[in-house]
Amino acid sequence: MTRVLIIDDHPIVLQGCRHLLEDTGACELIEAQTAVAGYRQFRRQRPDMVIVDLALNGNGLAGLSLVRRLRVHAARMPILVFSMHADPVIASRALEAGATGYLVKDTSAADLIDAFEKVRRGQSYISHDLALEVALLGTRGRTGMLADLTQRELQALALLAEGKAYGQIAEELGVSYKTVANTCSHLKTKLGATNLAELIHRAIQYVAGSPAGGKNSSLA
């Protein structure tokens, strides 16, 4: 029987995954709601597979760092990213970080089971709507407004989209206030924003996937 660790900070998502996967009769489930708890469970329980969200406890892309960390300790373990991010660049970053598969949460139960079964067997999987776009990124190089951003810039952008101030972003990422200010300065240049308000608007558009809003429009 496959031991599966699910890391997601939304109880409803955890409950839904539990019901669907338990019905397959092929797995034993372990749950965690934070990146720290997920990593501890991974080290303690040694699961056969991990399903992880990208947005964990207010950090829009914390899951990427966690995937990298898991991959260091388990080079061959199947990892399925299950996320609200429907951007091919974000999906590509997750795969580059070490994910075996990438599934968008706006999907059917049948797709979740299909992704689970394929990734469990070590096969790659990408949500149908993203597969072609991700493949094109691989053949022609990254394109689009998010294509040239570094990992730290993507993380800062995600936190800006949630309405976080520079000081809060510095605390979330474990860096100095000055580092965050410099990162956001680079983001303004790359995304064509002339001031912080415009940068936050870009962040909501490109990362949160909403034309307007604030903290409530952050990714699940």
Q: In this structure, is residue 146 part of a structural domain?
A: no
41 in Cβ contact with 74 (< 8 Å): no
Residue 42 is predicted with a pLDDT of 96
Asked if residue 210 and residue 176 are part of one domain, the reply reads yes
Q: 179 and 135 in one domain? A: no
> Looking at residues 31-43, what average pLDDT do you find?
94
Tell whether 179 and 132 lie within a shared domain.
no
Is residue 217 pLDDT above 50, yes or no? no
> Tell me: the pLDDT tens digits for 144-184?
566 678 878 888 887 787 678 899 888 888 899 999 999 99
**Residue 70's pLDDT is what?**
95
Which among 115, 121, 185, 109 is positioned nearest to 152, based on CA atoms?
185
**Looking at residue 153, what is its pLDDT?**
86
In DSSP terms, 31 is beta-bridged to 6
Helices (H) and strands (E) in the chain, counts: 10, 6
Structure tokens at 127: 């949500």
Same domain, 119 and 191: no
Q: Residue 5: helix, strand or coil by DSSP?
A: strand
First to last CA, the chain: 29
Q: If we measure between CA atoms, which residue out of 140, 137, 144, 164 comes closest to residue 62? A: 164
Are 116 and 182 part of one and the same domain?
no
- Residue 145 in any domain: the answer is no
Q: What is the pLDDT of residues 92-105, one digit of tens each?
A: 889 888 999 999 98
In this prediction, residues 15-40 reach a mean pLDDT of 89
| 171 and 96 together in one domain | no
Q: How far apart are CA 137 and CA 135, in angstroms?
A: 5
pTM: 0.66
Rounded CA-CA distance 88/35 in Å is 23
Domain boundary among the residues 115, 140, 165 is at: 140
Does residue 142 register a pLDDT over 80?
A: no
Mean pLDDT of 204-211: 52
pLDDT of amino acid 132:
65
- Can you give the C-alpha Rg of the chain in angstroms? 17
The boundaries of the domain holding residue 203 are 151-217
Same domain (yes/no): 103, 163:
no
Residues 21 and 120 in one domain: yes
What is the C-alpha to C-alpha distance for residues 115 and 40, in angstroms, rounded to an integer?
25
The percent of residues above 70 in pLDDT, for the chain, comes to 84
Domain count, the chain: 2
pLDDT at 139: 46
pLDDT at 39: 95
Residues 130, 159: one domain? no
